[in-house]
């Protein structure tokens, strides 16, 4: 049986100082084609070194308020992923509590 390979590709346009000006991504299997974005956080597990390798990119026109929301939503997503990976309800609840605290401190929650 033949295996299917899927690819996710990021394109980064840099200025003369190598600061991202434009970011876009493609994920053909997901129907994403040249989708523009202003920020991306990528984490990869190095199982030999037992550490996370990461690449954090954002465009210079990424608004600060959007960056705060991006981090908040990323933290919430990490809590969900942690639960799916570990089924650890107690730590997931603790992570979600932190997300609520984070949002409160940054005044992100609309009343």
Q: Using the 3D structure, point to which of 61, 83, 103 is the last residue of a domain.
A: 61
Residues 16 and 41 in one domain: yes
Residue with tokens 């409160």: 104
Q: List Cβ neighbours of 55 (8 Å cut-off, separation of 6 or more).
A: 40, 41, 42
Order of strands, sheet of 32-37, starting from the edge strand that comes earlier in the sequence: 9-14, 20-27, 32-37
Where does the pLDDT of residue 11 fall: very low under 50, low under 70, confident under 90, or very high at 90 and above? very high
Domain that holds residue 89: 63-111
Domain count, the chain: 2
Residues 39 and 71 in one domain: no
Residues 46 and 2 in one domain: yes
Residue with tokens 């929301």: 69
- The pTM assigned to this predicted structure is 0.89
pLDDT tens-place string over residues 53-93: 999 999 999 999 999 999 999 999 999 999 999 999 999 99
Residues 23 and 34 in one domain: yes
Where does the pLDDT of residue 9 fall: very low under 50, low under 70, confident under 90, or very high at 90 and above? very high
Tokens read off for 48: 């030999």
Distance in angstroms (rounded) separating the CA atoms of residues 94 and 36? 33
């Amino acid at each position: 049986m033949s295996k299917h390979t899927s690819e996710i590709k990021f394109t980064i346009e840099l200025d003369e100082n190598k600061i991202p000006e434009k970011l876009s991504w493609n994920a053909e299997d997901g129907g994403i084609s040249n989708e523009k974005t202003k920020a991306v956080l990528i984490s990869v597990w190095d199982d030999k070194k037992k550490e996370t390798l990461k690449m954090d990119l954002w465009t210079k026109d990424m608004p600060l308020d959007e960056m705060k929301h991006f981090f908040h939503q990323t933290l919430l997503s990490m809590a969900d992923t942690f639960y799916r990976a570990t089924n650890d309800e107690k730590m997931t609840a603790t992570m979600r509590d932190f997300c609520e605290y984070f949002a409160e401190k940054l005044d992100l929650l609309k009343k």
